[in-house]
Structure 1
Amino acid sequence: MFWCRTMHHSLVGFLIVSLGILTTLVHSKTDSDDVSALNVMFTSLNSPSKLSGWKSRGGDPCGDSWEGIQCSGSSVTQIKLSGLGLTGSLGYQLSNLKSVTYFDVSKNNLNNDIPYQLPPNTVNLDLSNNGFTGNVPYSISQMTKLQYLNLNHNKINGQLSDMFQKLTKLKTMDLSHNSISGNLPQSFSALKSLSTFHLQDNKFTGTLDVLAALPLKDLNVEDNEFTGWVPDSLEGIDNLETGGNSWSSGHAPRGKSSSAHEKGGGKKGMSGLAIALIVVASLVVLVLLLLLFSRKRSSPSSNFLDEEKGSRHRAFTPLSSQELSNHTIASIKKEFKETESLNSSGPIDIKTFQKAASMGYKPPPSNFSQSINDNQFASCLNPGRNTSVRAVAFSLTDLQTATGNFAPGRLIGEGSLGRVYRAKYPDGKVLAVKTIDLSLLQGAKPEDFSEIVTSISKVHHPNIAELAGYCAEQGHSMLIYEYFRNGSLHGFLHVADDYSKPLTWNTRVRIALGTARAVEYLHEVCSPSFIHKNIKSSNILLDNELNPCLCDYGLENFHHRTSQNLGVGYNAPECTKPPAYTMKSDVYSFGVVMLELLTGRKPFDSSRPKSEQCLVRWATPQLHDIDSLEKMVDPALRGLYPPKSVSRFADIIALCAQAEPEFRPPMSEVVQALVRLVQRSSMNLRDDITISSQMEDSDY
């Protein structure tokens, strides 16, 4: 009996201890993505012994209490490694740390660029007092929960991108003691919660106007190269430091303050004589301005070139396609007051514009509108959907004015079909005008251009640059599109300058997936389908968040009439003549674009050794060789990429760039392959994991 009781108690005790151990194991097992990110970080920090518990492979940061790591359940939530004398860099997997809200590696000896990807949900980010170089990474623009950002005392340089629109919760930002240059970006005006802002000891230029409406209580802009005047609204804040700049010494314009440059010496009242002189001078200036204005009106295009030259020195302000689209429609509503109200999210029926005249938008000719409304041409609209056309008829006169009479300074590109010009309107609206070479229309029916407008105006997809309008006057044929200030993928990859930022690996995958969805939509959703015939990196535009928008679609009839094929390096082997193009030819060209994203090389580069000049011939034999693949990756990535993701990306390229068209997959399979790559790599591409474009609900 005693033995039975003893055994009973021992068994109960064993079960309790076992249950406790099991419970500990269950609750302490750290999320695998967090472990992987910390493993990479440990290796990148040169595996310091002072980080007790840390490992380069595996381990349990939460259960084993790694140095500086705090967790909630199985997720790492805080990383505090300040003042430990750490060296090296932070690795490339920080974006996997999705539960981290506090990230502090300040007061160390870290160097190289700040990682392109950072913990996306961070509230407090402190990278100060290190040796970080390069630019402020674009990924910070997506950290919408950020409240505290400290990058002071580093070696950060270059200009700030206009990327702060989403940081509405940011309360403190310290960029002081770096070498950041250029004007303050316009998106600073979106920092509605910012109370402490330190910019001292940099190379900033321009004015402080963009800060005027912020709720600042502590502002330090000392020792920069600012000019102009400190806005009146900033003069009354609790702590203001403005010394060591090039403030204007003259009388401040209305709404400005001139006291910034007078601090320390006191403010003096103006004498009556000084006031009288200012009044007289103002009258003289006013008369001169009136004379100048009247002279300018007689030649409205004369100031476009000057404006264009000046714009090169302005702060970069990306404009998303949606913003431009909404702005365009708002302008149309204002000009056509007598017409019925328009829904800004709905299509614009061309019949509306036959009822009213406008200075900005001219109703199309009667025969042109007839072909538009016949609805007998290619359509991507589902049965039963509204089939009205969104494209607006622009007058030739207005386009000439907006482009400075198609001045060379407004030329932004030139292709096989014609030139593209930048059109700017007085209300700030900017569009891209594509002129169609009239010689390409020889032998064609007059209504061919209207058919093309009809066809492409019905294409609506998030990754396709939509047609905003057209012009068919006096023998001119033009297509008007939204204007993308970020330019093209070709520019990002191949036309780098001192202010360019290399695209992160995740961004490159997102660009590939978005472009693939656009081509899939043209091939497999539209009926009749489109063969693009001109897929290349210069026809992939990037919006303000670097999402891709495919352009130059729906012009295959023009390409068919030309003897020109795609740019060197994009042509599929079977495309010796334009009529030979098929959907599989588009797939090949897309594979070449993926190669550009992978390697950073041009499709054809005569400056390289002969064996490396043709990108496809050089790269495809090496796509399945791990060692060779590592050497092929774009050096601009600086090794910051997941090797498995790159390998899978290369596998997709190999399928698309096959010499035999019958072996290339349809675009829907390419989309699925890229989606699987994203899922297996645990990438954070926001909505990019949607199954395919066929599942999205657009206006088709």
Structure 2
Amino acid sequence: MARYLALLLALALRLAYPAFAETDQGDVSAVNVLFKSLNAPPQLTGWSSTGGDPCGDDWKGVKCSGSSVTEISLSGLGLTGSLGYQLSSLTSVTYFDMSKNNLKGDIPYQLPPKVEHLNLAENAFTGGIPYSISQMTDLKYLNLHRNQLNGQLNDIFGKLDRLSEMYLSFNQLSGNLPPSLGSLKSLKTLHLQNNQFSGSIKGLANLPLEDLNVENNQFNGWIPNKLKNIDTLQIGGNSWSSGAAPPGMDKASNTNSHTGGKKGVRSVVNGAVIAGTVIAVLVISLILLALIKRRSLSSSHYIDDQSSQNISSTPLVSRELGLKGYSSSIDIKALETPPSMDLRPPPEPYKLFSDNEFAVKLNPKQSTNPVSITAYSIVDLQAATGSFSASRLLGQGTIGSVYKAKYADGKVLAVKKIDLINLSGGTSSYDFMELVSGISKLRHPNITELLGYCLEPRYHLLIYEFQMNGSLHDFLHLSDEYSKPLTWDTRVRIALGTARALEYLHGICSPSVIHKNMKSANILLDSELNPHLSDCGLAVFYEDTSENLGPGYNAPECTKPSACTMKSDVYSFGVVMLELLTGCKPFDSSKPIMERTLVRWAAPQLHDINVLTQMVDPALRGLYPPKSLSRFADVIALCIQPEPEFRPSMSEVVQSLDQCVHRTGIDKRSRLSTSCRSDDSESSYH
């Protein structure tokens, strides 16, 4: 009898896990996702796909400190699958070793952010090295040896001051070594052998290396003498230059290699060269100063004294395009620059100046607030997007397609290529630049920022910041069951952030903006799953079309986009909240007729707490506060009212969701005071 009582007690304790568990719930969820992504292997004894207590129980390869997981070591266990999408939640993990398995796919962007020892060697990972590694400032050991990684090595090493060992050998990495490798001031061991690297290794000369292996690549040029003195150097299988290294290649070696008379002759020659160079520089400088002064005087009638201090040499419009009604506040100087086929980093922002500083009559509708934005050339964008290849396609919507642009310095952007046929009424270039100017002034932490544009014959493109985790729609509806990291707290945070973005558009920004394309596909998630609303300011493209938002999102009054109002945005936002609550699509033709439209099916049940709990997305596994759930459902019910006048404003929605945040226990972020972009402001794929 005592034995049965003990078993019943153990079972009761297991069922009451959340109350007695030692492990942080965020860590439990992340390790659960990892287990499922690894195809739930039986060799991981103690592991579970739902719940469990890694720190309180004996989970193979897991070590903890207090209630936090600090080490995961699963080397050589024959594991398959992938690493999932929630490792970034393991904020206390400092040792992560998944080497010598058979893991496939790309190395995920979401890695433990505070890791010191990262070993993914001897797997079958493909793709490139994720940019998130550039933020791992505690990293000391990085081993990606013997995978199938390819492409260029991005310039991601500038902040890795503590990195002492790095193994990238036996992959398919190519291109020149990035400049930031030269800033790894603690690097002792570097293995790059058996890749396809090319170019010079002179950037490694000043590193404190003790062990360097660059065998079997395509390196060329000279080997710096400083590297010849390190303890272990392996350089075979490359195309090194023969003969003496050129002057300046290695200052230390040049000093030691010339003595006596030769040194004196070289000094005289060098002195003559330096003197000649100085004279040439002085002459060129005088010529440039004269030209600048002349140009400044000749253009002074366009601008006042204050603005001439900043832009005295900036043309008002492109010489090739002429005036054609372009706004004088748009700087399109970049379009005059000869194109280059190099995959260069994106250009620095140019400043857009207000009408008060230029001729107001050219464009009286422009804002008086100066903004900064970048003009990109089509040549550079084609190089960065692989000529807009299908492999770089992020999404496709009514007005165009969005592509991923990757630069040599590791910068990643999202490029929206507008289909010119969709420009209503044959929108002119002037209208496009007015659109760019308007969007550039929308600044809010939950709105995807417009970084630049490209205006060239046959090309109208908008360049946005890139969000690593894609859209909310993809997370909810296209991810498999092993890669859904959206906890209840995260869903409420996404809803609140999106609501704040709409509140800003509707009531804070002046003039107010109606989104008219509010849907989960236009809510993009960053590396921390914070929401960024995209396609803001593009409603003009939908005015004269017969297309609606998409099945399930349209408010009853939106028979066509031109009929949509702010209250229509509120309705569509309510549908997005329903997606977050249920995990269901707004319209699903595969379901029974009465359940196909999410609003029609869910609306009558939102106030029945018993039915409501059965509507919740099963992926949440019942992990949500009942009071927060009920309040969340109340907000949805108000937003999806059939009559627009009964729907709340977005300010009221934000206030109600703030209460949901309070009830979930999420730390409330301070409300940012944001408005249309001003001088000192801080800062869709569909």
Normalised TM-score (structure 1): 0.59
Distance 1:574 1:474, change over 3 A: same
- Pick one of 391, 415, 429 that aligns with 1:432: 415
Query: SS at 1:433's partner residue?
Result: strand
Correspondence list, 1:526-545, <5 A:
526-545=509-528
1:257 deviates by 2.6
Correspondence list, 1:117-516, <5 A:
122=68, 124=70, 140-142=87-89, 144=91, 146-147=93-94, 160-164=107-111, 166-167=113-114, 170-171=115-116, 185-188=130-133, 190-194=135-139, 205-206=148-149, 248=194, 257=213, 355-356=313-314, 365=323, 367-370=325-328, 373-374=354-355, 377=365, 387-396=369-378, 398-399=380-381, 402-403=384-385, 406-408=388-390, 410-425=392-407, 428-429=410-411, 430-438=413-421, 440-442=423-425, 447-474=430-457, 476-496=459-479, 500-516=483-499
What letter corresponds to residue 557 of structure 1 in structure 2? Answer: V
What letter corresponds to residue 392 of structure 1 in structure 2? Answer: T
Aligned counterparts of 2:401 and 2:308: Cα–Cα separation in 1: 26
1:528 deviates by 1.4
Correspondence list, 1:634-673, <5 A:
634-673=617-656
Q: Deviations over 1:638-658 (max 9, x none)?
A: 444444433322222111111
Contact 2:23 2:56 in 1 (8 A): no
Aligned counterparts of 2:408 and 2:73: Cα–Cα separation in 1: 43
Contact 2:46 2:57 in 1 (8 A): no
- Pick one of 682, 689, 693 that aligns with 2:669: 689
Contact 1:377 1:454 in 2 (8 A): no
Q: Deviations over 1:58-100 (max 9, x none)?
A: 99x8xxxx9x899xxxxxxxxxxxxxx97867749x9xxxxxx
The farther-off stretch of 515-524 and 485-494 is: 485-494
Contact 1:568 1:603 in 2 (8 A): yes
Distance 1:137 1:440, change over 3 A: closer
Over aligned residues, Cα RMSD in angstroms? 5.8
What letter corresponds to residue 503 of structure 2 in structure 1? Answer: E
Distance 1:644 1:464, change over 3 A: same
Contact 1:106 1:127 in 2 (8 A): no
Distance 1:543 1:653, change over 3 A: same
Contact 2:170 2:194 in 1 (8 A): no
**Which residue of structure 2 lines up, in the alignment, with residue 578 of structure 1?**
561
1:670 deviates by 1.0
Distance 1:370 1:47, change over 3 A: farther
What letter corresponds to residue 547 of structure 1 in structure 2? Answer: N
The farther-off stretch of 638-647 and 521-530 is: 638-647
Aligned counterparts of 1:354 and 1:394: Cα–Cα separation in 2: 22
Correspondence list, 1:93-108, <5 A:
104-105=55-56, 107-108=58-59
Distance 1:651 1:237, change over 3 A: same
Contact 1:467 1:479 in 2 (8 A): yes
Aligned counterparts of 2:384 and 2:143: Cα–Cα separation in 1: 40
What letter corresponds to residue 374 of structure 1 in structure 2? Answer: D
Aligned counterparts of 1:631 and 1:69: Cα–Cα separation in 2: 28
Distance 1:57 1:147, change over 3 A: closer
Normalised TM-score (structure 2): 0.60
Distance 1:486 1:126, change over 3 A: closer
The farther-off stretch of 212-221 and 387-396 is: 212-221
Contact 1:206 1:227 in 2 (8 A): yes
Contact 2:503 2:650 in 1 (8 A): yes
1:237 deviates by 11
Distance 1:698 1:623, change over 3 A: farther
1:668 deviates by 0.9
What letter corresponds to residue 514 of structure 2 in structure 1? Answer: I
Distance 1:552 1:126, change over 3 A: closer
The total of aligned residue pairs comes to: 525
The farther-off stretch of 525-534 and 491-500 is: 491-500
Distance 1:638 1:447, change over 3 A: same
Query: SS at 2:371's partner residue?
Result: coil
Distance 1:522 1:183, change over 3 A: closer
1:665 deviates by 0.8
Contact 2:452 2:464 in 1 (8 A): yes
What letter corresponds to residue 492 of structure 1 in structure 2? Answer: F
Contact 1:350 1:391 in 2 (8 A): no
The farther-off stretch of 205-214 and 591-600 is: 205-214
1:581 deviates by 1.0
1:631 deviates by 3.0
Aligned counterparts of 1:107 and 1:578: Cα–Cα separation in 2: 58
Distance 1:491 1:452, change over 3 A: same
1:392 deviates by 3.2
Distance 1:351 1:616, change over 3 A: farther
Distance 1:50 1:673, change over 3 A: same
Aligned counterparts of 2:594 and 2:319: Cα–Cα separation in 1: 53
Distance 1:472 1:197, change over 3 A: closer
1:403 deviates by 4.7
Distance 1:415 1:120, change over 3 A: farther
Distance 1:436 1:648, change over 3 A: same
